[in-house]
Structure 1
């Protein structure tokens, strides 16, 4: 189960506010890792959150008995990191928010099994948003035994 993840953005506050809006949650300033960071919280019983750091931040291990820290390194455009996020909003509500922000978004059917709204935050960071209907499809398709059936036969030997 995922409790939180972190991503980087050009405008961490705006991105956190929009993610929080998709959840009907809240966004807060979040400087513990690096200044300029924000966090979107879903307000659910699991504490689900997305931490949004400034675009050029990477996480580094701190020596000894200390927490990791964020370090600016220079901008990157794209990343392999993405997440599938549940939303209580409808597809038209998500698309309206994406249009308002100027972020590309489209409906996609993954592997013919479940639908997602592919949302490109700031035009560079992909997030998959799943409405209630899409969440039901996802859960039906992605149970543990289904993962084994889909991926185990294709594993390299």
Structure 2
């Protein structure tokens, strides 16, 4: 079970506010780790959170029992980190938000098994948004037993 994940953005506040809107949650400042960070709360049964750090923030191990340290690093726009998030909005509402923000958005079917909305935050950070119908498809498809079957079938 995932409780939170972090990404970086050019405008952490804007990104946190948009994700909170998709979740119908709330965005708040998140200063404990890095100045300028924001967090989006889903306000769901798991208290799911997306932490959004300023682009170029890198977490480093701290000595002893101290918390991780946020240090500036070379900023990069694209990376492999992404998350699939649930929303109770329909596809049109998600598209409307993306278009308002000027962020690329499109519908995709992953392996012909389930649909996702690829939302490219700030044009470079992929978040997969799943409407209620897409969530059902995902939950029916993405199980360890189904994955083992797909791997065996591909061999």
Which TM-score tier does this pair reach, normalised by the shorter chain? over 0.9
| C-alpha separation in 1, matches of 2:123 and 2:115 | 20
Following superposition, the deviation at residue 10 of structure 1 comes to 0.1
Please give the per-residue CA displacement for 1:72-127, whole angstroms capped at 9, x wherever unaligned: 11211111000100011000000000000000000000000000000100000000
| C-alpha separation in 2, matches of 1:87 and 1:38 | 20
Match of 2:3 in 1: 3
Aligned pair count reads: 155
> Does structure 1 residue 17 correspond to structure 2 residue 17?
yes
Please give the per-residue CA displacement for 1:27-47, whole angstroms capped at 9, x wherever unaligned: 000011111000000001211
| C-alpha separation in 2, matches of 1:35 and 1:150 | 44
| C-alpha separation in 2, matches of 1:150 and 1:55 | 37
Match of 1:51 in 2: 51
Match of 1:77 in 2: 77
Alignment of 1:111-150 (within 5 A): 111-150=111-150
Partner-residue secondary structure (3-state), 2:95: helix
Please give the per-residue CA displacement for 1:20-66, whole angstroms capped at 9, x wherever unaligned: 00000000000111110000000012110000000010110001120
Alignment of 1:90-105 (within 5 A): 90-105=90-105
CA RMSD of aligned residues (A): 1.2
Match of 2:68 in 1: 68
Q: Flag structure 2 segments of 5+ consecutive residues without an equivalent.
A: none
Task: Please give the TM-score of this superposition, normalised by the length of structure 1.
Answer: 0.95
Q: Flag structure 1 segments of 5+ consecutive residues without an equivalent.
A: none
| C-alpha separation in 2, matches of 1:32 and 1:45 | 24
| C-alpha separation in 1, matches of 2:39 and 2:137 | 28
